[in-house]
Amino acid sequence: MKTLFGHIIMNFTSQAENLATEGLNYIISSSADAKMSISRFLGMIDPEMEKNLYFKTQDYGEDGSIPDLVGLDDEGSRTCIIESKFWAGLTENQPINYLKRLDSEKTSILLFLVPSRRLQSIWLELKNRCQEAGIILDKEIRGKSYINAKVSEKNYLAVTDWNSLLAFIEAQLDIMIKLPGQI
């Protein structure tokens, strides 16, 4: 369903991905329950990811990469990088330099958020770039609205669509409202 806000963003700015990322960060920074919902979503990939994370946007790196949204654990380790995509292509840093920024000693995930129509094509491009860099994707898991695979013992590469992630967060918040104090 199209919205007025979505129409304006997509047609009158070149910063749609940054605005969407800031919007997502606002939601999860304003609500502990929404933030926990992101952790639960990541926990479906690996249960060890269901933990409290602190998120920040535009995390500049020495390698020149600027991930959209980075999740840090209580020790300050990057255990989650979320990269927002609508129709822009991957940058030369994606996904390889982003994967290098994940903590290799802790369960960590690089997640690309894309429109549902781009799910398969972005995954294929991510896979090809990993293969060119000598990174083997292991144990690929495909669902209706997501794909993920291990890139090392503790690190994952994943892609899901925006609508599925936002619907998951909304459903989790509905559950928390209906069962206050029980979750």
Which segment of 1-10, 107-116, 145-154 scores lowest on mean pLDDT? 1-10
Looking at per-residue pLDDT, the higher value among 80 and 8 belongs to 80
Pairwise CA distance, residues 130 & 180, whole Å: 43
Pairwise CA distance, residues 170 & 62, whole Å: 36
Amino acid 23: pLDDT = 85
Please report, for residues 17, 77, 92, the alpha-carbon distance to residue 148 in angstroms, rounded to integers and kept in the order given.
22, 21, 21
Which segment of 21-30, 80-89, 167-176 scores lowest on mean pLDDT? 167-176
Rg (C-alpha) for the chain, rounded Å, is: 16
pLDDT band with cut points at 50, 70 and 90 for residue 32: confident
Each residue's pLDDT tens digit, 45-63: 999 999 999 999 988 777 7
Each residue's pLDDT tens digit, 133-149: 999 999 899 988 899 99
Each residue's pLDDT tens digit, 74-116: 999 999 999 999 888 999 989 999 999 999 999 999 999 999 9
pLDDT band with cut points at 50, 70 and 90 for residue 5: low
Residue type, 175: I
Instruction: Please report, for the chain, the start and end positions of each structural domain, with discontinuous segments joined by +.
Output: 4-178
pLDDT band with cut points at 50, 70 and 90 for residue 3: low
Q: pTM of the prediction?
A: 0.86
User: What residues contact 172, with CB distance under 8 A and at least 6 apart?
Assistant: 33, 34, 36, 37, 40
Q: What percent of the chain has pLDDT over 70?
A: 87
pLDDT band with cut points at 50, 70 and 90 for residue 177: low
Pairwise CA distance, residues 125 & 147, whole Å: 13
